[in-house]
């Protein structure tokens, strides 16, 4: 009996050590320097992840010139403004027949940042506070904060990246909705560690 208790005790200690290892490993992978969220993040609340694009129409229409940005990367107000002005889409013409554009707008609004209560969308909408929503993902406060330390030579002057809006140039799993730091590979520079 006493022997069994000893075994049980050893097992419990082993499990505890194992779990601690997991937590630490996960912490090392996450890059957030926002102190509030370590434990919540481990529980999955604010990992830099987002749902994959699930609309073939959106993927086809909006993904032909740039990556099909996940709808949760911007709040509804931004999508609404953007879809109302496709004729001048950041200097490009991206006009669509009404039939397609209204379906796409519907998809965007249903999955906009404030509609999702976890991961990247949540952090993006929280970062906006009460301020007017920018039209560009790269101008949301959360995005600016996450990318502020990256030198221009790695992005703007890097022919394989060109712009911070080319997410998948460096975030190797961007299309799967994962933007974790350990997945970053900057072309010509490799891993990024801040």
Partner 1 sequence: MRKLIINGITAILIATPWMTQADAIAELQMGYRQMGSGDFSSTGGEIIWNKEFPNPQSGQLRNCALCHTNDLSKSGKHNRTGKPIEPMAPSVNPQRLTDTRKIEKWLKRNCKWTLGRECTPQEKGDLLAFLRDH
Please identify, using beta-carbon distances, which residue of 67 and 109 lies nearer to partner 1.
67
C-beta closer to partner 1: residue 16 or 90: 90
136 interacts with partner 1 by CB under 8 A: no
Q: Which phi and psi (to 5°) does residue 122 adopt?
A: -65, -45
Q: In the bound complex, what is the minimum distance in angstroms from residue 159's beta carbon to partner 1? A: 8
Min dist. Cβ of residue 93 to partner 1 (A): 4
Q: Is the dihedral of CA 133, 134, 136, 137 positive or negative?
A: negative
16 near partner 1 (CB under 8 A): no
185 binds partner 1 (CB under 8 A): no
Answer yes or no whether residue 96 interacts with partner 1 by CB under 8 A.
yes
Cα separation, 38 vs 78, whole angstroms: 30
Q: Torsion angle of alpha carbons 52, 89, 108, 168, nearest 10°?
A: 10
The one among 30, 51, 66, 183 contacting partner 1 by CB under 8 A: 66
Do residues 79 and 109 make contact, with C-beta atoms less than 8 angstroms apart? yes
């Amino acid at each position: 009996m006493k022997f069994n208790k000893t075994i049980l005790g050893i097992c419990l200690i082993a499990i505890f050590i194992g779990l601690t290892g997991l937590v630490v490993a996960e912490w090392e992978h996450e890059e957030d320097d926002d102190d509030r969220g370590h434990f919540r993040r481990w529980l999955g609340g604010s990992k830099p992840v987002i749902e994959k694009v699930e609309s073939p129409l959106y993927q086809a229409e909006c993904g032909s010139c740039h990556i099909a940005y996940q709808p949760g990367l911007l709040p509804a107000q931004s999508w609404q403004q953007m879809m109302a002005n496709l004729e001048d889409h950041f200097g490009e013409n991206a006009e669509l027949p009404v039939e397609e554009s209204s379906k796409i707008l519907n998809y965007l609004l249903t999955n906009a940042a404030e509609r999702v209560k976890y991961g990247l969308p949540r952090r993006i909408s929280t970062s906006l506070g009460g301020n007017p929503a920018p039209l560009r993902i790269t101008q949301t406060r959360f995005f600016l904060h996450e990318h502020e330390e990256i030198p221009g030579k790695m992005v703007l002057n890097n022919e394989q990246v060109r712009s911070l809006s080319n997410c998948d140039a460096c975030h190797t799993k961007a299309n799967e909705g994962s933007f974790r730091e350990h997945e970053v590979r900057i072309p010509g520079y490799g891993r990024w560690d801040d």
